[in-house]
Structure 1
């Protein structure tokens, strides 16, 4: 059985965003104390009994079939990412989820790769969003000497929610960044429900950041592997960077290589090149 609290909260939150009129369903009565579909309404759409669905929201998933989970996912109008998340939550945790897979050092070839991306800010993160490696371009763009950070703070989730430099850098884009990080972490815990280190990170973040806690309790999930951010750099001004997550990587402790590239021939590309070359000569 998966994580009881997470499964129940996730199903309840998705049920709460649907209304009877969204699914062409008549009301059971007229008064509603809370928004969203009632359990019996959702069960009717999914083709299961109300009692059985209630057990699912209680995390009682003994022998639940893939077909039942798919029926519930369809009734809840889950997105593809949310559907995968539900199935991940329902599976038993693997023994591999209970161990710390991250190595304190990267393979030399991965460090060479980061260095070769001379004009492309890039870093490598582990399964707990810890920064395992980065290049000089990333330090110059984000304005952070990652090597000087204490080990526990060398973590992308903590930097996004607890370091004011990241908030200032992303400016108007910050809410989108914060949501992207939180919803991705929600997916991670679905993939690794027994991961003690990941669970501890989430607990710390909920206590340390009201914004993270609000995003976490929304139960939104979204596997965003690419996009564009406009960053307000103190030296370069407003720059446009396309980010990309490259995953998986063969190393068991590595989650992804993340790159930020400028469009060819753009002002951002020239500004980045000037910044990096000036730093190299200093």
Structure 2
């Protein structure tokens, strides 16, 4: 575990994330990663007190006044238009995920506070579908990286989530506070970064979610690595990719994952893992499936957790 050493520190009471501060820090960190030559501006070699583009350079690229951009970077995005946000996104070379995050921060939708309070419930048919996916580890993840349901193969691969208290069935807590997750993922640093990016996107959509604020506060107190990653303000969406895992029974595996956002609830995604056919990883996964036949059955959180 990479929690801070010494006596346990008190966890602060959850407060809503400061939307103005989030917008300000996101723009500042995106501006800091660019140099004039990256965006076609001359670099005269003058001493720069802070890294990256100056505000006036970014404003020039976006076609807005320096005063207007300064107000936006100070967190005042109340009256900003979509066209201006598009121009700033282009000037900052934002990805699609970063562009969406900027829009959520600058122009938060009023209904999202109400939606954030709605309990997360997984449809029973999804659990039946995962049960039918023989040999394929699968689970459903919701807001705040909560694990809402899983099949037998997911339990065999990742561990017996059913034995954990419902509040611990959360990828962020597992990744940063459970040493077993660090041992499982050979590319743990990338997994940790992906999870924090996921939480950042969630925070942009639901800044008033008290459970998300509590989770961020807890992890910030208990994990220096989480604090460091959270401070980068990086956001990205990974719909697919490759993970390398080490299982104590079958050894190392290279598995591809697919993340399928549910059409009737975009806050929930079905995540599946598979190995390349006729590979050593496929053999290991079949062996794990055979072992897992007598292991933990499928599960769902069933808590009505928000």
Same fold (TM over 0.5): yes
Partner deviation per Cα, 1:49-97 (whole Å, 9 max, x = no partner): 1111110011112321111111111111212221121112112233343
Mapped contact 1:102–1:127 kept (Cα < 8 A): no
**Residue 165 of structure 2 corresponds to residue 150 of structure 1:** yes
**Residue 282 of structure 2 corresponds to residue 266 of structure 1:** no
d(CA) in 1 for partners of 2:240 and 2:62? 33
Structure of higher RCO (CA pairs closer than 8 Å, 6+ residues apart): 2
Secondary structure of 2:144 counterpart: coil
Q: Which runs of 5+ in 2 are unaligned?
A: 1-17, 296-306
Q: TM-score, normalised by structure 1?
A: 0.91
Mapped contact 1:94–1:194 kept (Cα < 8 A): no
Which residue number in structure 1 is paired with residue 64 of structure 2? Answer: 48
Partner deviation per Cα, 1:15-64 (whole Å, 9 max, x = no partner): 11112222232458822211111111211221111111110011112321
Which residue number in structure 2 is paired with residue 189 of structure 1? Answer: 203
1:72-111 pair list within 5 angstroms: 72-98=88-114, 99-103=116-120, 106-111=122-127
Which residue number in structure 1 is paired with residue 246 of structure 2? Answer: 232
Mapped contact 2:24–2:75 kept (Cα < 8 A): yes
d(CA) in 1 for partners of 2:109 and 2:36? 35
Question: Of residues 95, 120, 130 in structure 1, which corresponds to 2:146?
Answer: 130
Mapped contact 2:78–2:107 kept (Cα < 8 A): no
Mapped contact 2:61–2:91 kept (Cα < 8 A): yes
Which residue number in structure 1 is paired with residue 219 of structure 2? Answer: 205
Secondary structure of 1:67 counterpart: helix
Which residue number in structure 1 is paired with residue 132 of structure 2? Answer: 116
Mapped contact 2:153–2:292 kept (Cα < 8 A): no
d(CA) in 2 for partners of 1:23 and 1:281? 58
d(CA) in 1 for partners of 2:143 and 2:197? 14
d(CA) in 2 for partners of 1:43 and 1:222? 24
Which residue number in structure 2 is paired with residue 167 of structure 1? Answer: 182
Q: TM-score, normalised by structure 2?
A: 0.84
Which residue number in structure 2 is paired with residue 176 of structure 1? Answer: 190
Q: Classify 1:37/1:251 alpha carbon distance in 2 versus 1 (closer, same or farther; 3 Å).
A: closer
Aligned length: 277
Structure 1: 4+ residue segments shifted above 4 A:
none
d(CA) in 2 for partners of 1:109 and 1:126? 16
d(CA) in 2 for partners of 1:89 and 1:36? 22
